[in-house]
Amino acid sequence: MTFINGLKCRECGREYTKRAIAGCQECFAPLEADYDYDAISRVLSREVISARPKNLWRYRELLPLEREPAVGIASGGTPLIRAERLGRVLGIRDLYIKNDSVNSPTLSFKDRVTAIAINKALEFGLSAVGCASTGNLANSVAAGAASAGLPAYILIPDNLEPNKIIATSIYGARVITVRGNYDDVNRLCADLAEGYPWGFVNVNLRPFYGEGSKTFGYEIAEQLGWRAPTAIVVPMAGGSLITKIHKGLKELERLGLLEEAVRTRLFGAQAEGCNPITSAVRRGSTEIKPVKPATIAKSLAIGNPADGYHAARLIAQTQGWADDASDEEIVAGIRLLAETEGIFAETAGGVTIAVTKKLIEQGRINADDLTVIAITGNGLKTPEAAGLSEPICIEPNIAQFDRVVSGLAATV
Amino acid sequence: MSIKLTIPTALRKITGGADVVEAEPGTVREIIASLDQSYPGFRTRICEDEDKPRRFINIYVDGEDIRFLDNLSTRVRDGAELAVVLAIAGG
């Protein structure tokens, strides 16, 4: 059963029927899935949700599918971890990590949006799927397409890390590297989506695809006992995730499912070498000036973020803030999370940890703010970024081992 | 007529279905104004009132976003290619 009336323009309000479409044909703004919340509130309750399996379809009435999902069944339902050790280091009493580095099947939050997009492609009878990607989406779409029996055309910039390419090609997708940065790839896909009868998940399926990110927010609220966090720190590439997390929390509030009204402050995190959204926030503006990315955080290297304006606006409206991290700070962030909580995040995770540290130091997040850090991808995707040196090598004898251990103990 | 401007599907109603139109060299602003003469309504589809492109439209000169150049005052030379692209996507 579906509760989506149609698609609606976020800016001018013009309505569209449910179909594969990139944006408003009038003002070109992004389109949003438009739900019948009254009808949803009659069927959805905490009890109904709690009885369902722990995956993102738990919230299916708030997702834009017409039929039962055929693929992506196991996506979502990732852990929310109480991070006591990291909290002690950073100086926050109630710190949580929402850990999508273990999401299924491809170890990033993108499995949430891909699950929606591929099911919609099947519903619309499209003959193939495609995407522009900085890595995580490529992995996810390739895997999802394979499990759906659809061909996939994956376009990536020519400087992506090797693991990301292997972890996309292995599923049999047609992977095409493009000479240029992500923004060049994105522009090409916008043109291709006009000519090819395919579902480009983040172009002409974008209004549906984006809805999957709301489940990141739904799960956090449910896992916190049906309450929204006081603060949440989210990495920003295109800027969609942070806006959808907020949309998800507000939907739960609207349906009467939360203990209290949503007063969550949104905090955005980017790399210093690609910070168009954080720059706008710090200028007190919602006007995004595009940049040319230069950062090890390639997953966030989008110089012209499509949802940047909305992200900046929402951050200001919720009394949040945004900051960015240097390459050194990103690496330190990856290591800090791994060493305190046993979670190995990719570069976007390092960015988010580093920025959380800054926000606390700046007094923008307080010691008693219940805070969630969004970890969106697994560190095995960007292992070279960790900058680790080779381990010590010994002969197989006890004496050498003893010497090494006392030497290691001396450095702890 | 010596610069080419590619038009996205959403704007082809205004250009009578044409996906590529031609214009004389000049600034981007001048080119848009001259195309508005041939295709009435063209300018307001692309630009906001304050003489800047609409928020969700990107304009490229030879593959470079005009915001890295001189915005609407960017000079477009003979033989260059302009493209109007909807600002979609990210991921």
The domain that holds A222 is classified in CATH as 3.40.50.1100
What's the number of domains chain A is made of? 1
> How far is residue A187's CA from residue A189's CA, in Å, rounded to a whole number?
5
Q: List, in order of start, the domains of chain B with CATH numbers.
A: 3-86 (3.10.20.30)
d(CA B66, nearest CA chain A) in Å: 10
Q: Which residues of A touch B90 (CB under 8 A)?
A: 186, 202, 237-240, 302, 305-307
Q: Does residue A302 contact residue A275 with C-beta atoms inside 8 Å? A: no
- Which residues in chain B touch residue A305, judged by CB atoms under 8 angstroms apart? 90
Do B67 and A202 make contact, defined as CB atoms within 8 angstroms? no
Instruction: Summarize the confidence of residues B10-39 as an average pLDDT.
Output: 92
End-to-end, the C-alpha distance of chain B in Å comes to 38
ipTM given for this complex = 0.84
Say if A127 falls within a structural domain: no
Residue A68 lies in a domain: no
Q: Which residues pair with residue A31 across a beta bridge?
A: A9
A412 pLDDT more than 80: no
Any CB–CB contact under 8 A between B54 and chain A?
yes
pLDDT band at B51 (very low <50, low <70, confident <90, very high): confident
Domain membership of residue A225 (yes or no) is: yes
pTM: 0.94
pLDDT tens digits, A323-347: 999 999 999 999 999 999 999 999 9
Using an 8 Å CB-CB cutoff, list chain B residues near A191.
8, 85
Q: Which residue of B has its CA nearest to A131?
A: B91
Residue A407 exposure: Cα atoms within 13 Å on the Cβ side: 8
Nearest-Cα residue of chain B relative to residue A184:
B63
A253 to A137, A139, A267: CA distances (angstroms): 29, 33, 20
- Establish if A183 belongs to a structural domain: no
Is A27 among the domain residues?
no
* HSE-up of residue A167 (Cα within 13 Å, Cβ side): 22
CB contact under 8 A, B65 and A304: yes
- Cβ-based contacts of A194 with chain B (< 8 Å): 8-9
| Interchain CB contact of A305 with B (< 8 Å) | yes
Number of CB pairs, chain A paired with chain B, less than 8 A apart: 84
> Three-state secondary structure along A199-246?
EECCCCCHHHHHHHHHHHHHHHHHHCCCCCCCEEEEECCCCHHHHHHH
pLDDT digit string, tens, across residues A343-401: 999 999 999 999 999 999 999 999 999 999 999 999 999 998 998 989 999 999 999 99
Residue A23 and residue B56: Cβ atoms within 8 Å? yes
Confidence label for A411 from pLDDT (cuts 50, 70 and 90): low
Whether the predicted pLDDT of B91 surpasses 50 = no
Which pLDDT belongs to residue B85? Answer: 84
Q: How far is B4 from chain A (nearest CA, A)?
A: 16
Whether A5 is covered by a domain: the verdict is no
What pLDDT band is residue A30 in, cutting at 50, 70 and 90? confident
pLDDT > 70? residue A32: yes
Band of the pLDDT at A10, cuts 50, 70, 90? Answer: confident
Instruction: Domain of residue A257: give its range.
Output: 88-105+212-386
How does residue A410 score in pLDDT terms, banded at 50, 70 and 90? low
Position with higher pLDDT, A25 vs B37: B37
Name the least confident of A201-215, A366-380, B74-88.
B74-88
Q: What is the pLDDT of residue B40?
A: 93
Please report whether residue A70 resides in a domain: no
Question: A30 vs B85: CB contact, 8 Å cut-off?
Answer: no
Question: Does residue A114 lie within any of the structural domains?
Answer: no
Q: Do B86 and A23 touch (CB under 8 A)?
A: yes
